[in-house]
Amino acid sequence: MHTRTVGPFTVSAVGLGCMSMSWGYGQADDATSERLLQEALDAGYSFLDTAAMYGMGHNESLIGRSLSHRRDEFILASKCGIARGEDGNLSVDGRPEIIKRTCEQSLQRLQTDVIDLYYLHRLDPDVPVEESVGALAELVAEGKVRTIGLSEVSSDTLRRAHAVHPITAVQSEYSLWVRTPERRMLATCRELGVSFVPFSPLGRGFLTGCARDLNHLEEDDIRTNVARPRFEPDNFAANQQLLAPFGEIARQQGCSMAQLAIAWVLAREAGTLVPIPGTKHIEYMRENAAAGDIRLEPAVVAQLDQLINEQTVQGERYNAQLMATIDSERD
């Protein structure tokens, strides 16, 4: 797999999103996940993405016990800013004291002295981004964090944050069927010299062609609740009509549908993006890694652009309640 840069770091062109090993897509097996993480480094992954809220610390602990002895082999990204309140419910919390406390807890779970890239997971509407980033900047000064990132923010928020402390990367959902960053964020990142890290490049599994039957989804799968609109029966049936021609293009390119979806992201923005597809399956991890060396001709990229985009896909990416709270949707 070739390498790319995220701020000062040289990383694998395809990173590994670790969330599904702990939360979001049904139950995962810890023994399998530990083996997956080991084999991912062997397969060439050198950019791992986690967060404090993934399994409420479980994911960070999983990475810590699995890979602490190989800490110098990968760039580690984690996130703060979503915490469990006294009522037991998760909520966005960007207060400086919460950010600092979360970082200390994450360092312990990850069994490391420093987090390479530390994101504010979501913008807290009740806390100015300048205050949250100020706390992150203090963590950099203390040597606990090397660089700062933001997740799911608007261009205006990025500019405000960048004025307080240099922002290394912005992470947001970006794929053939989610084009929100194309409105302004990608251009803003180019202007400011900020890296862009797309999550869910596989459209939450839809673009792999494997999610053909909604009946297999577990009750705690986010595609049955917050990310449900595109998986509602009518929308899902309409969106499935896109998969046959998409699969044919993949066949012509000699790759899987998942690899084609990742290769499309890799081809964007003059080849500067570093997608982080997530999985809890070892075979899919290896399949995704192979996408790192696929080169698509411009004509193929254009063909894919025309086939799958926000005009041809039915349904929003999140339910209405969540969509109203996401800062990146304000771009």
Which is the catalytic residue, given 25, 54, 118, 284?
A: 54
Phi/psi of residue 154, each to 5°? Answer: -85, 170
Beta-bridge partner residues of 147 = 117
User: Quick check: 78 and 84 in contact, CB under 8 A?
Assistant: no
- Enter the tokens of residue 19: 């969330």
AA letter at 228: R
Task: Of 100, 321, 296, 327, give the one whose Cα is nearest residue 227.
Answer: 321
* Whether 36 contacts 66, CB under 8 Å: no
One DSSP character per residue, 23-87 reads: SSSS---HHHHHHHHHHHHHHT--EEE--TTTTTTHHHHHHHHHHGGGGGGSEEEEEESEEE-TT
Helix (H, G, I), strand (E, B) or coil at 196: strand
Rounded Cα–Cα distance for residues 148 and 139 (Å): 9
DSSP secondary structure letter of residue 184: T
Going by DSSP bridges, is the β-strand pair 82-84/75-80 parallel, antiparallel, or unpaired? unpaired
> Is 318 a catalytic site residue?
no
What is the number of residues in the chain? 331
3-state helix, strand, coil in the chain (%, to 5): 45, 15, 35
Residues serving a catalytic function are: 54
